Amino acid sequence: MPYTLLIRNCGQLLTLSGGPTHRPLTGPDLASWLILENAFVACENERIVALGLMAELDESQITPATQIVDAQGKVVMPGLVECHTHLVFAGNRAHEFQRKLQGESYLDILASGGGILSTVRATRAASEAELLDNALRHLRDFRRYGVTTVEAKSGYGLDRETELRLVRVARQAGRQQPVRVVPTFLGAHVVPPEYKGRPADYLDFLAAEVLPALRGEAEFVDIFCEQGAFSVEDSRRYLQQARELGFGLKIHAEQLHDLGGSAMAAELGAVSVDHCDYLNAEDAATIAAGGQTVVVLLPLVPLFLRQETYAPGRQLIEQGLPVAISTDFNPGSCPSKNLWLALSVACLKMGLTPLEAIAGVTLNAAWALNRATEIGSIAVGKRADILVLDVPDYQQIPYWLGENPVREVIIGGVTSALEAP
Ligand SMILES: N=CN[C@@H](CCC(=O)O)C(=O)O
Ligand SMILES: [Zn+2]
């Protein structure tokens, strides 16, 4: 079959391929994947079918029906994979920004009934149509940044009806526009007012009344293991129950304190452990030994919460851990969808190199969603989620701080218009 889409004259084609295919990238592999200069990528419908140097291009596969994108010597790379967001919510927390600037901590604001609980009130009060509208707007913004897959957590309902609604909205939003949406159930975000002081009872309720209704609807189950949220022991029991029901596991852990939640979740086979700003070296070694859990770094969160401590990214890489990078887009700890900024801050504050950080927002992020056979690199057989950037050299990606380098976004072999707001 002839090519349906050809991207030619790629100055640098960042393939993210050439390394191991059976596990996430770790150690030196994070930065030694293949870059082709003066190259092409060809697709048949939604799949990549060929790539190589321009001199190797088989012109006989080009027909008048082939769509040709001229990269004009710029960087071409896989679509970004955003592996940790709280996509579906109502309202915002701009009113808490000033409180934060005056020194109130994230957990103090939560303990006073604000923070996550403030977004829960707004989300419970919103209609399904309003929530869908918000989610679609955020997905459009993500797509402009070159994000082609987005994980979407629930977690601002904290009751059966609203939590199921949030998962339904995430799935519906995924069907209504081109960015792929991967739903995660985070009903165990914090303890709702109805269960105040009874976290274990709330988790039992979720496990008995909500998780069974989510089989086939949400792929992962997540929990916020932290002071003021859920303890390590309660989290362990809940995640075990979720695993028995067939869900993949994720955890928010070591965000503000070193409690041991990340190592616990890794021992249960979690696909990712997220935040890890306070992860200690011993627990990092436990996670590395498991060999299957990705550490998702969220550098915009300590930045936004004015925290000095960032996850020890460099040290984690030296210890052999696979790292990914995400924004953690949400109304409280990161109201930003700019994954390029997160990538830059991962370099500046966590010690990643540009190549490692690029792997963190593509192939390793795909591993954190259990989708690395489908997305995250430019390789024959993979889904054609591809970006054409406006920069000629990958070194400029983290350098232009906070800018959006995306010129063209291709999702499933289809170029999608980046319409004005
Ligand atoms: N830490 C817990 N949950 C989110 C924040 C949610 C919120 O503040 O609304 C996070 O990943 O940072
Ligand atoms: Zn989060």
Condensed to tens digits (0 to 9), the pLDDT of residues 302-350 reads: 999 999 999 999 999 999 999 999 999 999 999 999 999 999 999 999 9
**Of the candidates 214, 217, 211, 192, the residue with the CA atom closest to the CA atom of residue 202:** 192
- Tell me which residues have their CB within 5 A of the ion that is ligand 2: 328
| pLDDT, position 418 | 74
Residue 419 has pLDDT above 70, yes or no: no
Atom of ligand 1 nearest to the CA of 255: 1
CB 314 within 8 A of CB 352: yes
Quickly state the pLDDT bin for 1 (edges 50, 70, 90): confident
| Per-residue pLDDT tens over the stretch 241-270 | 999 999 999 999 999 999 999 999 999 999
According to the annotation, is 189 in a ligand binding site? yes
Residue 417 has pLDDT above 80, yes or no: no
- Cβ of residue 26 lying under 6 Å from some atom of ligand 1: no
According to the annotation, is 138 in a ligand binding site? no
- Cβ of residue 326 lying under 6 Å from some atom of ligand 1: no
| Per-residue pLDDT tens over the stretch 309-322 | 999 999 999 999 99
- Cβ of residue 119 lying under 6 Å from some atom of ligand 1: yes
**ipTM passes above 0.95:** yes
**Ligand that comes closest to the CA of residue 90:** 1
| CA-nearest residue, atom 4 of ligand 1 | 333
| pLDDT, position 420 | 54
Q: Which CATH number fits domain 5-78+377-416: 2.30.40.10, 2.40.30.200, 3.90.1150.10, 3.20.20.70?
A: 2.30.40.10
| pLDDT, position 416 | 81
Report residue 186: phi and psi, to 5°. Answer: -120, 45
- Cβ of residue 184 lying under 6 Å from some atom of ligand 1: no
| CA-nearest residue, atom 7 of ligand 1 | 332
According to the annotation, is 328 in a ligand binding site? yes
**Ligand that comes closest to the CA of residue 86:** 2
| CA-nearest residue, atom 10 of ligand 1 | 333
| Per-residue pLDDT tens over the stretch 144-153 | 999 999 999 9
How much is the average pLDDT of 387-413? 98
Residue 180 has pLDDT above 70, yes or no: yes
Instruction: State whether CATH 3.90.1300.10 applies to domain 81-368.
Output: no
Domain with CATH 3.20.20.140 in the chain: 81-368
Domain with CATH 2.30.40.10 in the chain: 5-78+377-416
190 CA to middle of ligand 1, Å?
10
- Cβ of residue 224 lying under 6 Å from some atom of ligand 1: yes
- Cβ of residue 115 lying under 6 Å from some atom of ligand 1: yes
